[in-house]
Every structure is written in C-alpha cells, then in structure tokens.
Homo-oligomer: A and B are copies of this chain.
Amino acid sequence: MSRIDGRTPGQLRPVTIQRGWSKHAEGSVLVSFGDTKVFCTASVTEGVPRWRKGSGEGWVTAEYAMLPRATNTRGDRESVRGKIGGRTHEISRLIGRSLRAVIDYKALGENTVVLDCDVLQADGGTRTAAITGAYVALSDAIAWAQAKKLVKHGKQPLTGTVSAVSVGIVDGVPLLDLCYEEDVRAETDMNVVCTGDGRFVEVQGTAESQPFAREELDSLLDLAVQGCAELTAAQHEALARTLS
C-alpha cells in the first residue's frame, strides 16, 4: 500500500537544510520536510535572564510561530489578537526543552541563545522540522560564540545532537513523517524527539480518534527512532558543508 504522495510507510519526505539563510543571525537555517518550510534563527546575546544571573550558567529558549498564510486558509496574527494561543505556547516550550537537552549550561557560560522558528509554509510536521532545523542553527551559533570567545576556550556547550519526527497511525498503518493530509486522518499522532545516539528527549503521543494499544505505540517508536537517525545524518551532512 502506498501513501498519498507515493512514499512507503517508513519513508521521510525529502529533507533540505540550508544554512546561512540570514545575514544577521549568528545561526540560521531554512529547513524543509517536503512542503513544510521553517525558517530557524539562533540569536546569541551575552548575559542571561535575571533569575539566572551570577550562576555561571547559560540559557537556551525558543519561540515558534506561523506566518498567517503558512496554511491553506489565512489565520489571524497572534500579535493582532493580542495573545499567544495554546498551540503556539505548547510548541515553543517543546522546542526549547528539546534543544536544552543537548546543552551543557556550565560550558555555555552566561550567554543566552534564542531560537526563533517561523513557519513559512506548513504541510504537517512543522514542530519536528523546527526542532531539526533549530539544532543546526544552534550549532552554528555556538560555533560563532566560540570564535568570538563568548564561550571559553576548550568548552563545548553541545553535548550531542537532536532531531525530531512525527509518526502516526493512518487506516491502521503506522507511518513516518506525516504530511498534513495524513495528519488530519490519523487515528494516533506522535511526535518524537531523539538524540543522535538514539535515546529519547520527548515522546508525545495522542489518540486522535481512538485509544492506542501498547503494540501500536511500540511500532510507532520503532519508526520514529529510524526516522530520527536519518535526520541526524542530514544534520551532519548540512553542518559538514562550508558556510559561504
């Protein structure tokens, strides 16, 4: 059985990771998972939020947003509505936690990195693309901070790599990296964040139309671990290229 876009159940959409997409940001990436495109910037500033001052430790945080017409019908701007919606809050927090999982705060020193993930075009999996792209932007930003001596010589604030992918059960079949059309039809939907060595940072599974059994959960985790391994490889490849 083949999928809407002809993929096999365990196949990722084409993934591209373009670095250096902004002339201002210390790290910047345009990541695409098929038609989902997220622009990720990593901004480094000296100093940390007030509650962390004097700790000798750094901080990493993230903000996620969708452009109003990233989706098929235009959504209101959250700035115009005057408040951030629950979904935006939830995803921003997820991205922040995911990236912090591979940060050694002591090694980072009292510096802050803010990751902005703005969805330019959405077709499912925007949060997982954001995490995967943000890691690469973060990596470039850390390298910049090391070059600028904001991070002390010999210190490596990154303790590993992190990537993320969605999985779900559609018509009873576990699928990797759902596009929007699959996502709306999924009985179960899961976002999984893994480190490069295959351990879990976040596992968020939700029954959409009916509860799921342990075996289903297990097969989804298998798919996700394999997908994250491929994304990890794509991240390494992108970081191996010379940044013009």
Residues of A within 8 A of B (CB): 22-25, 28, 35, 39, 41, 43, 45, 63, 65, 67-74, 77-80, 82-90, 92-93, 97, 101, 114, 116, 118, 120-123, 160, 190, 194-195, 197, 199-207, 210-214, 217, 221, 225
What are 15 A-B residue pairs whose CB atoms fall within 8 Å in the complex?
A22-B69, A24-B122, A41-B68, A69-B116, A82-B82, A83-B83, A86-B90, A86-B92, A97-B206, A101-B210, A200-B213, A202-B204, A202-B205, A203-B205, A214-B225
For the complex, what is the distance from the CA of A72 to the CA of B26, rounded to whole Å? 10
Prevailing SS type, chain A contact patch: mixed
User: Given that A39-B120, A69-B24, A82-B83 are contacting pairs, would A101 and B214 also be in contact in the complex, using a CB cutoff of 8 Å?
Assistant: no
Tell whether, in the assembled complex, residue B71 and residue A24 are in contact, meaning their CB atoms are under 8 Å apart: yes
User: What residues of chain B lie closer than 8 Å to A205, measured between beta carbons?
Assistant: 200, 202-204
4 additional A-B pairs beyond A202-B204, A204-B204, beta carbons within 8 Å, are A24-B71, A69-B116, A195-B211, A200-B212
Given the complex of chains A and B, what is the CA–CA distance between A225 and B213 in angstroms? 11
Cα A71 to Cα B24 in complex, Å, equals 6
Task: State A190–B130 Cα separation when bound (angstroms).
Answer: 23
